[in-house]
Amino acid sequence: MPTRRTFLGQTAAVLGLAVSGRQVSAASHASATLVAREASVQLAPGGYPATSIWGYEGRAPGPTIRVLQGERVRRRVVNDLPEPTSVHWHGIRVDNAMDGVSGLTQEAVAPGQSFDYDFVAPDAGTYWYHAHNRSWVQVARGLHGPLIVEEAEPPEVDRDETLVLDDWLLDPETALIDTSFDQPMAMSHGGRIGNLITTNGQFDLSIPVARHTRLRLRLINASNARIFPLQLAGLRGWTVALDGMPLAAPEPLEDVLVLAPAQRADLIVDVTAIAGETAHLVRIGNDDRPVSQVAFPVSGSSAQTPRAVPAALPPNPGDGIRSLADARPLRLVMTGGAMGRMDSALLGGERLGFRALAARGRFWAFNDMAEMTQTPLADLSIGEPVRLEIVNETVFPHAMHLHGMHFREIRDGRPVGPMRDTLLVAAQETREIGFVADNPGDWLFHCHMLSHAESGMMTWVRVT
């Protein structure tokens, strides 16, 4: 069991270290009521006190909501917290009134009140739900959970495991959540990075398996700002979906899978480690050392020989943008942050210098605006194709999330990337995405490093 000293420096087992834990299952039967409340959860290693969190049903992560593709999701969210909240259903193409963005699609749910969410889940895949009022605070306190939409004909696997990756910024003595959510250093740099890394709320998650077991691993990055570089050890795997949307064909996972905040990846993996060994989902640490994110201790064998390459998942409805011939061009320039070159930006109709902006908690800007604007980035017609150039002039990466619609990355002048809802744009990098404005409403577009969004990196588009 890690000591207090090792807890500060490293919070998961290094490859080769025996890790104990309990088997978890992705399946969960959530009630029709989803209560957001305070709770006490043991996140840190033994010997530490329990951590006071905000969680759905008092859990970290919240209960898995699991439905079949095309079924309705109905949840009455009850707010037992001391401040208003709302719930966003990340990656789901919901009706705009159900998107859960307080101040844009609904009023926040006051303490003691409730809100009924009711929508169809049109796309199979791995999604998640999380707070979307003061999200840089509420998600960091634990308000998130998995939303799994099952295919009518799921792939042939032995086990289906949902793995929610997160990090927590805790006081190293009391294990309480650090409440410096508005800390200028974090807001102006890479965002709030935790010192305790967990999977499904456990720092040492271990899932026993047999050799040649075939697993579907549904990975969800629920952290506020941490980017997870992941690899497989003792596992042979393929990426079959990104952000819930199936790939045209499984792609062998032979290198690093980079999972930015809010992104998801579905993997199908076969256990190649032999009995007595431990396979791992590996996280590459800051010092490039491999660290076990999830351990898979192996005992026995489920088959005598390895299986064939898995088939592709069935495609979801709609093909996204395929032609740029009539696409409306848009441009979003991201500026600001520490070591940036943003001298000034507009806030409240007034041009302020960077120091004055920082004093007001604004460190970033989209197209020279350091706040969510009253007018949209674009007013789009239903069915209109769009190509959006994203220019990152900052020295930090940003995970850009589009609500209500999916996009493809444009490469070499063609929309050829997989369908996604969140794109990681590296420092000093320019990327381009294309999408069809096929869902009416007001849709947020923001950085999912959540403290970046709060301090200037939010805009929206209107589709009518």
Q: Do 4-152 and 328-463 fold alike per CATH?
A: yes
Buried b (16+ CB within 10 A) or exposed e, 198-219: bbbbbbbbbbebebbbbbbbbb
Residue 464: which pLDDT band, with cuts at 50, 70 and 90?
A: very high
Mean of the per-residue pLDDT values for the chain?
92
Written as one letter, the residue type at 189 is H
| pLDDT for the residue numbered 456 | 97
Q: What integer pLDDT is reported at residue 105 of this predicted model?
A: 98
Look at 8-22, 25-39, 77-91, 281-295 and tell me which has the smallest mean pLDDT: 8-22
User: Does 247 have pLDDT greater than 50?
Assistant: yes
**pLDDT tens figures, 174-223:** 999 999 999 999 999 999 999 999 999 999 999 999 999 999 999 999 99
Predicted local confidence at residue 7, as pLDDT: 34
Of 301 and 415, the structure prediction assigns the larger pLDDT to 415
Asked if residue 9 has pLDDT above 70, the reply is no
Q: Check residues 31 and 463 and name the one with the higher pLDDT.
A: 463
How would you classify the pairing of strands 144-150 and 65-68?
A: parallel
Reported residue count of the chain is 464
- Whole-number percent of the chain with pLDDT over 90: 89
Fold classification of 328-463 (topology level): Immunoglobulin-like (2.60.40)
Query: pLDDT tens digits for 130-163?
Result: 999 999 999 999 999 999 999 999 999 999 999 9
Q: So what's the pLDDT on residue 313?
A: 97
Average pLDDT value for residue range 413-423: 93
CA distance 356 to 362: 9
CATH of domain 184-301: 2.60.40.420
Q: What pLDDT shows up at residue 3?
A: 39
Is pLDDT at 371 greater than 60 in this prediction? yes
| DSSP secondary structure code for residue 407 in this structure | B
pLDDT of residue 31: 47
Task: Determine the Cα–Cα distance for residues 268 and 309; give it in Å rounded to an integer.
Answer: 9
First to last CA, the chain: 56
Its pTM stands at 0.92
pLDDT of residue 306: 86
Is residue 301 very low, low, confident or very high in pLDDT (cuts 50, 70, 90)? confident
Number of Cβ atoms within 10 Å of the Cβ of 374: 6
pLDDT at 156: 95
Residue 2: pLDDT band by 50, 70, 90 thresholds? Answer: very low
Look at residue 10 and tell me whether its pLDDT is greater than 50. Answer: no
Domain boundaries, the chain: 4-152, 184-301, 328-463
Fold of 4-152: Immunoglobulin-like (2.60.40)
